[in-house]
């Protein structure tokens, strides 16, 4: 939840700087916008990491997606 809170704080800083009714182009041009993207990238790493962990455990257990779904390869 810390990363989600960080995203809210970063986005809030942009909104405070440009105003809630500003257009997309104004948000994207704001000097605070790169912080939003940085936090978003860190937040996106969470599900990717979780997926990689699950796939690794399935692989270690001998599970093959190709075999179980009829792709004909392992």
Residue 61 has pLDDT above 80, yes or no: yes
In angstroms, rounded to a whole number, what is the distance separating the alpha carbons of residues 63 and 74? Answer: 9
Residue 15 has pLDDT above 80, yes or no: yes
Average pLDDT for the chain: 86
C-alpha to C-alpha distances, 68 to 4, 36, 39, 52, 54, nearest whole angstrom? 36, 40, 37, 19, 16
In angstroms, rounded to a whole number, what is the distance separating the alpha carbons of residues 62 and 74? Answer: 10
**pLDDT at site 1:** 74
**pLDDT at site 70:** 56
- What are the tokens at 58? 């399935």
Closest CA to 14 of 58, 41, 29, 1: 29
In angstroms, rounded to a whole number, what is the distance separating the alpha carbons of residues 45 and 15? Answer: 24
pTM, two decimals, is 0.65
Q: What is the mean pLDDT of residues 13-31?
A: 96
Residue 66 has pLDDT above 80, yes or no: no
């Amino acid at each position: 939840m810390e990363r989600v809170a960080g995203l809210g704080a970063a986005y809030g800083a942009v909104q405070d700087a440009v105003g809630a009714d500003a257009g997309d182009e104004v948000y994207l041009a704001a000097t605070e916008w790169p912080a939003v993207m940085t936090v978003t990238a860190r937040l996106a790493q969470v599900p990717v990491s979780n997926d990689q962990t699950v796939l690794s455990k399935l692989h270690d257990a001998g599970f093959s997606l190709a075999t179980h779904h009829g792709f004909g390869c392992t």
